[in-house]
Structure 1
Amino acid sequence: MSTPAQRHRDKHRAMQAAEHAAATGQAVGDLAHSLHLQLLALEQDQQRLKALDRIADKVTLKRELLPKYRPYVEQYLAGEKTHQNPLFATLVVWLFDLGEFEQALDWAEVAIAQGQHTPTRMKRDFPHFVADTVLEWAEQQAAEGQAVEPYFSRVFAHVAKDWRLNEKLTAKYFKFAGLLLLRDALGEPRPSAVSDPDVLEQADTLLVKAHEWDPVGAQVKTHRSRIAMRLRALEQD
């Protein structure tokens, strides 16, 4: 067991090497090969984050810290051996917090394939964390009439095929995908704004799947009724 003096020395070495990596973009020395030392440096920075009250301040600090740890994660990903890597897992979460979705999803897909655990403070596994995060973002974007692609469809493809999410979250994805096809320029799901019967039928199929996954909570009956009304109106034109 290490002594307090050794632990202090290790933390000092870890922080020095981390600062070098942040400045040069290269992980060198002991820290480049020691997950233990990497995590010692991360532990100190996690304490700095914990001391901040405002989410905006936490985001700012994470953005400053990311270059410090990115070289170690990139070196790990370039290697042939895989193992549980808490630093990698933490940076995946940080990337989502920072809104860097493309990099976040690239790394999250690797983390899921490797069976990486989410950081200890999180109760969700990576598929549920990623799906929750992207759906919450997509709902806000769509409500404001903003684009949700390519990130929503990228995650939805996993939800529909290979991520075993709970029924409620799976239903939410199918419902959102269906309503997305119906949204007008203002972001409102409005079947009357859609003139293509194929699009309406595709939306209805997705809503049916949402109901199948969560018959009580999906609440798609009204939307499906409006789609049916719009289809009848188009047939009469």
Structure 2
Amino acid sequence: MLTPAQRHFQRVMAERHGKADDLSETARTAHEQILHRMRMDMSALKKIQGEQAKAALKRQLLPNYEGWIEGTLEGDSGRQDEVITRLMIWAIDIRDYPLAVRIGRYVIAHNLAMPDRFNRTAATALVDEICDPILVQVKADDSTDVKPYLAVLDEVQEITENSDMPDVVRAKLYKARAFALCNGTADEQATALELFRRALNLDSGAGVKKLIDKLARQVKKASAENASGSEGADQSGGEGGNNQAAATPEVTVPAAKKPATKNNPGSTTRKTAARKTTTKKPTADKK
């Protein structure tokens, strides 16, 4: 493990290494030292056959490069560097995807070449190496929840969107993102369906035809239920309003206020009786 002073020295040297006008002996020596460390570590890794055992060793070794990683990313020079591109792959191998994407964003932005043995661009390598383990998990157990990877996969999509890569590799990214969404909300399932269709369009052997059929039925059913629920709510609200409007006149308008008409003899009778009462009283006074 690096001491804080060693980490700081690495960071400063990495920043200087990226500057074209800094050709000091110290900067060159620092780069040579970090390359030498990387080659020694690669030699140790070659002696191990098991992939999991190699990943365990990389997990121990990666902290020794923290200063170099931070200095390179902060310097943002874009200078070709075998160390930083290889460390991107190491971060993937130990499942530190956030770190891998941080380095990958820098490597892809500056179009840095990968080490010779990869025979792939940085964007292709990033998508391949991140998506393959996720898709293996799903293949081994289709109930596996890979939604925790969604943020990383979306970021990979963002930084590789304009990069050239084989269609089958791009299809892997669509599939992985679809699997991360297919057990979510109705909107997420609709997005997953579209991603599966894109994957199939790019790679006819993507193995997602049955998934598309299944998910299409689920999306259609959810859409129908949502439409039915909305229609029922609208009808319920409309009927309630009509009933209230119909009931209001019967309650607020009393029969006594209706004008006297031919069809309302009760009012005429009351008025006639009143007039008769009025004319009798003066006659009684005269007697």
Match of 1:94? Answer: 90
Match of 1:183? Answer: 183
- CA offsets per residue over residues 95-151 of structure 1, 9 Å max, x none? 111211111110111011111111222222211111012212333555432422321
Contact 2:193/2:215, CA 8 A, preserved across alignment:
yes
TM-score, with length taken from structure 1: 0.71
Contact 1:26/1:71, CA 8 A, preserved across alignment:
yes
Match of 1:3? Answer: none
- The amino acid that maps onto 2:171 is A
Supply the distance in 1 between the matched residues of 2:130 and 2:80 (Cα, whole angstroms).
Answer: 24
What is the CA-CA distance between 1:183 and the residue it aligns to? 2.9
Match of 1:136? Answer: 132
Identity value in percent:
21
Contact 1:138/1:152, CA 8 A, preserved across alignment:
no
Inter-CA distance 229–127: structure 2 relative to 1 (3 Å threshold): same
- Report how many residues are paired: 206
Contact 2:174/2:198, CA 8 A, preserved across alignment:
yes
SS at the partner of 1:103? helix
TM-score, with length taken from structure 2: 0.60
Match of 1:15? Answer: none
- The amino acid that maps onto 1:173 is L
- CA offsets per residue over residues 18-61 of structure 1, 9 Å max, x none? x8768732326866543233212322222122122333332233
Inter-CA distance 75–178: structure 2 relative to 1 (3 Å threshold): closer
Greater per-residue helix proportion: 2
- CA offsets per residue over residues 140-185 of structure 1, 9 Å max, x none? 55543242232122213344x322221112123223333433237x
Supply the distance in 2 between the matched residues of 1:179 and 1:57 (Cα, whole angstroms).
Answer: 28
Match of 1:152? Answer: 153
Supply the distance in 1 between the matched residues of 2:215 and 2:69 (Cα, whole angstroms).
Answer: 48
Match of 1:163? Answer: 163
Supply the distance in 2 between the matched residues of 1:154 and 1:81 (Cα, whole angstroms).
Answer: 22
Inter-CA distance 23–63: structure 2 relative to 1 (3 Å threshold): farther
Give structure 1 stretches of 5+ with no counterpart: 1-18, 185-193
Inter-CA distance 224–140: structure 2 relative to 1 (3 Å threshold): closer
> What are the residue-to-residue correspondences of 1:12-161 with 2, within 5 Å?
24-27=6-9, 32-34=27-29, 35-79=31-75, 81-140=77-136, 143=142, 144-146=144-146, 147-159=148-160, 161=161
Deviates more, 1:64-73 or 1:87-96: 64-73
Contact 2:128/2:172, CA 8 A, preserved across alignment:
no
What is the CA-CA distance between 1:200 and the residue it aligns to? 4.2
What is the CA-CA distance between 1:84 and the residue it aligns to? 0.9
Supply the distance in 2 between the matched residues of 1:110 and 1:92 (Cα, whole angstroms).
Answer: 10
Match of 2:259? Answer: none
What is the CA-CA distance between 1:91 and the residue it aligns to? 1.5
